[in-house]
Chain A
């Protein structure tokens, strides 16, 4: 109520944090559950049989793939929640 309005830095942290942080947690949970059932080496064998990868590459790529997708979703949510700018804003009243 009496708190000063957040500074530009705080706003930026809030915006980027609201996109990156929940998506990081969601990607972490998704990776744990997904890789508990799926072995990245088997996935590679059926998807890219001609290339060889290590499990670490599979896990890391999987995690960052999940994080990219969840962050993208968070970013679109953030974008849609911004107030709509109407074209009429520029027109004089009356």
Chain B
């Protein structure tokens, strides 16, 4: 029988804490000390990179490129095995967009409507500026950079790159936002090459949810009241009709006891940063951030149904097939990673 999917979505604050932790890591990185020096300092002016007591010189460029290659292949392997968790939880675009959203929400709760827009823009600007300073602080000792800031004695290049990076942060997280993931990100376009039907993603259980629709409260879930799951073809047909009303014509009307567990509350759509309807099937723009999982679980819990109408699992597992860990792409990526690590070990040891 199938391996059970993760039916209980993690609580929403878990994602917020992870985002805050990763952002804090970035902002504290240039402040870390190692043997009395800055721990991470890519001093391109002196042509040396210091990484926690390990110094790379221009002749070590092979090591640096190898390190980048190992990180890239690891990311590909992670995406292949676990889905787009990088996009949804760790990508800088997601982290800063989430931080900007949080600022926007906090400001609109705390201030009267007339002040909200200027205050949000000001806070976004300050965060962008601090991001620019932190970024340049990885290349130029940050203690000196911050000490010099009030006296405006930065070199022309430090000023330029702080402002450039601040503008890039504001432009990506405050202006372009989800357009970056939708239209600009090359990694998003590479997903079909890395994933296969065994890769987990956010999926809607149409057999359980369809036909969707509002109903009187207290009716109970399909499993509890004995309606059971639909057969896959009928479920897909209902999901298709709901997604393409112009093409498929109006949905038939169902009596309340024949309805599935989806109450058509659209909480999943409002929670989605990309405004996708996950019930229309797997979509290329889905970042797998899990916002819809949390929103749906909350609504289902409120309606008294079991969890798991939206699930983070592979299409194979959703159809009841057993999970397979070793696939051709897994082996290819793992071999590449091991080969790179072996090269690195041979070069360094």
The answer on A and B forming one complex is yes
| Residue pair B61, A2 in contact (C-beta under 8 Å) | no
Contacts of A84 in B (CB 8 A): none
| Residue pair A2, B184 in contact (C-beta under 8 Å) | no
Interface residues in B35-91 by Cβ distance below 8 A to A read 44-45, 47, 58, 61, 64-65
* A24 to chain B: closest residue by CB: B168
Contact with B along A1-25 (1 / 0, CB 8 A): 1100000001001100110011001
CA of A17 to CA of B177, assembled, Å: 13
Tell me the minimal C-beta distance from A14 to chain B in angstroms. Answer: 4
Q: Does B234 contact A (CB under 8 A)?
A: no
| Residue pair A13, B280 in contact (C-beta under 8 Å) | no
| Residue pair B179, A13 in contact (C-beta under 8 Å) | yes
Main SS at interface, chain A = helix
Interface residues in B135-193 by Cβ distance below 8 A to A read 155-158, 160-161, 176, 179-180, 182-184, 186
| Residue pair B157, A56 in contact (C-beta under 8 Å) | yes
Contacts of B64 in A (CB 8 A): 32, 36
* A6 to chain B: closest residue by CB: B183
Q: Does A35 contact B (CB under 8 A)?
A: yes
| Residue pair B176, A2 in contact (C-beta under 8 Å) | no
CA of A13 to CA of B158, assembled, Å: 29
Q: Does B244 contact A (CB under 8 A)?
A: yes
| Residue pair A2, B243 in contact (C-beta under 8 Å) | yes
Q: Does A72 contact B (CB under 8 A)?
A: no
Contacts of B183 in A (CB 8 A): 10, 13-14, 17-18
With A56-B45, A60-B157 as contacts: A36 and B61 at CB distance below 8 Å? yes
Contacts of A18 in B (CB 8 A): 183-184
Contact with A along B245-283 (1 / 0, CB 8 A): 001000000000000000000000000000000001000
Q: Does A69 contact B (CB under 8 A)?
A: no
Q: Does A79 contact B (CB under 8 A)?
A: no
Contacts of A22 in B (CB 8 A): 186
Contact with B along A40-68 (1 / 0, CB 8 A): 00000000000000111101100000000
CA of A1 to CA of B243, assembled, Å: 10
Binding site for A on B (CB under 8 A): 44-45, 47, 58, 61, 64-65, 155-158, 160-161, 176, 179-180, 182-184, 186, 243-244, 247, 280
Could you list 9 further interchain pairs (A-B, Cβ under 8 angstroms) beyond the known A13-B184, A18-B184, A36-B64?
A2-B243, A10-B179, A10-B182, A13-B179, A18-B183, A21-B186, A35-B44, A36-B61, A54-B157
